[in-house]
């Protein structure tokens, strides 16, 4: 027998449970008969699964008037009241937020971090998360998720490399799970944000999309068929290190002329300051922030507009290759770069229409991401995914039955 056909019985349980939960979550209130019709599972299986979900408090029964009038039928709905603890580890900043499953925020806070190495970071991180969790004594969260900029093995929360804190081969997911005794998910922040846009933001009901984040670096998250596109244990979509200028500047990765050396906030500010020091005329001052640079570009300040168009062209050139490879329906752009959205999207569209297959380019839409200043929502998406694919459902039901 082909070993690929051998499916673990727990996996079958998880797949069926997830299928039932997804239907209830998406279509509820929904009756058991309707679940049977949509899922093609046997009535007995549905009775068993819904009983387990009810006992664990994951769904609730509601009485509903049937459309034909007459007797009331019992339907099922998901219960979104569960608290989900999310953490975004940024560059010198830690954001924490407590959500429920509808995406509503119940509490949030931010802290600056002094840590610069793995040894300094871990105690500081555990301290802040621990204090945050202690405040939730009445509403203990069902899971914890952390997102960060770096390469992460998503199946086990193993951080392969995160440059800012010099994290290397760090089993962060395991450390947090043991510390806080909660199912824990750790993921790359841009990949998680792409998923958040798909669940709650600008790419709901769109099966294939790419989120491009332009901040300190330039990175992407790819959604294919409603799932984050990734390898089992290796990261991908590091578009910031695709070469766009063979004669360009050296990138921190060691190569020359990567997209990030042209289209990232620090690169843009550095170019602007260099030109200002050489006597270029602009309303921009050397001490101004990236927001001011993009705002001035949108107001047709010549220097700022030239720099932003140049960056957007480089981004568009890279995205043209992405379009040829993946043919997404939508590309979402996140970051302060959206403050100059009109000229940025114009340049991206131009590059894509020149360099991508015309049938792909014509159907493509470019939109600003919905979540521009909400870094913890990526963690929420990681937990939501674990609910919808059954992984977390199984853990909650198991805890409940002990
Ligand atoms: Zn690079």
- Same domain? For 72 and 88 the reply is no
Residues 272, 304 contacting (CB under 8 angstroms):
yes
Q: Which residues surround ligand 1, an ion (CB under 5 A)?
A: 241, 251, 253, 255, 258
- The residue among 45, 78, 111 that closes a domain is 78
User: Which spans in 108-221 are helix H?
Assistant: 118-134, 172-180, 189-200
Following DSSP, what letter does each residue of 62-131 receive, concatenated?
EEEE-TT-SSEEEEEEE-TT-EEEEEEE-SSEEEEEEEETTS-EEEEEEEE----SHHHHHHHHHHHHHH
Percentage of the chain with pLDDT > 90?
78
Tell how far the Cα of 208 is from the centroid of ligand 1, in angstroms. Answer: 26
Length of the chain: 402
Number of domains in the chain: 3
How far apart CA 24 and CA 3 sit, in angstroms, is 33
Tell how far the Cα of 12 is from the centroid of ligand 1, in angstroms. Answer: 42
Residues 282, 203 contacting (CB under 8 angstroms):
no
pLDDT tens digits for range 332-369: 999 999 999 999 999 999 999 999 989 888 889 999 99
pTM, two decimal places: 0.91
Tell how far the Cα of 247 is from the centroid of ligand 1, in angstroms. Answer: 13
Task: Give the pLDDT of residue 231.
Answer: 72
Q: Which domain holds residue 35?
A: 3-78
What DSSP state is assigned to residue 217?
Answer: S
Whether 309 has a pLDDT exceeding 90, the answer reads: yes
Any idea which of 67-76, 112-121, 149-158, 373-382 has the lowest mean pLDDT?
Answer: 67-76
Read off the CATH number of the domain in which 309 is found.
3.30.420.40
How far apart CA 381 and CA 198 sit, in angstroms, is 9
Task: Give the pLDDT of residue 63.
Answer: 82
Residue 399 within any structural domain of the chain: no
The tally of CA atoms less than 13 A away on the side-chain side of residue 295 is: 8
- Same domain? For 246 and 355 the reply is yes
- Same domain? For 45 and 103 the reply is no
Tell how far the Cα of 254 is from the centroid of ligand 1, in angstroms. Answer: 6
Tell how far the Cα of 265 is from the centroid of ligand 1, in angstroms. Answer: 15
Tell how far the Cα of 151 is from the centroid of ligand 1, in angstroms. Answer: 14
Task: Give the pLDDT of residue 3.
Answer: 46
Whether 6 has a pLDDT exceeding 70, the answer reads: no
- The residue among 47, 78, 109 that closes a domain is 78
pLDDT tens digits for range 128-160: 999 999 998 788 899 999 999 988 987 788 998
Residue 92 within any structural domain of the chain: yes
Tell how far the Cα of 258 is from the centroid of ligand 1, in angstroms. Answer: 5
How far apart CA 211 and CA 219 sit, in angstroms, is 8
- DSSP 3-state assignment of 212? strand
Read off the CATH number of the domain in which 57 is found.
1.10.10.10
Tell how far the Cα of 266 is from the centroid of ligand 1, in angstroms. Answer: 14
Residues 17, 49 contacting (CB under 8 angstroms):
yes
């Amino acid at each position: 027998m082909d070993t690929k056909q051998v499916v673990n019985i727990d996996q079958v349980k998880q797949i069926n449970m997830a299928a039932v939960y997804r239907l209830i979550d998406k279509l509820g209130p929904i009756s058991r008969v309707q679940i049977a019709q949509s899922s093609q599972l046997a009535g007995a299986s549905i009775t068993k699964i819904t009983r387990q979900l009810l006992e664990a408090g994951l769904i609730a029964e509601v009485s509903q008037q049937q459309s034909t009038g007459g007797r009331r039928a019992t339907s099922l709905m998901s219960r979104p009241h569960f608290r989900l603890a999310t953490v975004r580890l940024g560059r010198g900043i830690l954001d924490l937020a407590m959500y429920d499953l509808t995406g509503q925020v119940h509490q949030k806070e931010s802290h600056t971090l002094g840590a610069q190495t793995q040894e300094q970071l871990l105690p500081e991180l555990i301290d802040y998360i621990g204090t945050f969790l202690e405040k939730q004594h009445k509403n203990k969260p069902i899971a914890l998720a952390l997102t960060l900029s770096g390469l992460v093995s998503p199946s086990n929360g193993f951080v392969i490399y995160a440059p800012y804190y010099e994290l290397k081969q760090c089993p962060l997911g395991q450390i947090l799970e043991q510390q806080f005794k909660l199912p824990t998910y750790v993921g790359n922040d841009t990949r998680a944000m792409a998923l958040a846009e798909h669940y709650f933001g600008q790419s709901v009901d769109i099966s294939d999309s790419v989120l491009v984040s332009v901040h300190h670096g330039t990175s992407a998250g790819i959604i294919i068929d409603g799932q984050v596109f990734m390898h089992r244990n290796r990261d991908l979509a590091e578009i910031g290190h695709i070469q766009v200028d063979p004669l360009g500047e050296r990138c921190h990765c060691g190569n020359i002329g990567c997209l990030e050396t042209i289209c990232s906030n620090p690169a843009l500010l550095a170019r602007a300051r260099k030109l200002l020091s050489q006597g270029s005329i602009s309303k921009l001052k050397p001490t101004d922030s990236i927001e001011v640079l993009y705002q001035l570009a949108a107001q047709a300040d010549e220097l700022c507009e030239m720099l932003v168009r140049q960056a957007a062209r480089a981004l568009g050139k890279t995205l043209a290759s992405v379009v040829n490879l993946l043919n997404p329906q939508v590309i979402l752009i996140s970051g302060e770069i959206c403050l100059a959205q009109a000229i940025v999207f114009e340049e991206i569209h131009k590059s894509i229409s020149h360099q991508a297959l015309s049938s792909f380019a014509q159907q493509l839409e470019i939109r600003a991401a919905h979540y521009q200043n909400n870094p913890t929502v990526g963690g929420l998406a990681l937990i939501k995914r674990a609910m919808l694919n059954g992984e977390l459902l199984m853990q909650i039901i198991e805890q409940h039955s002990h």
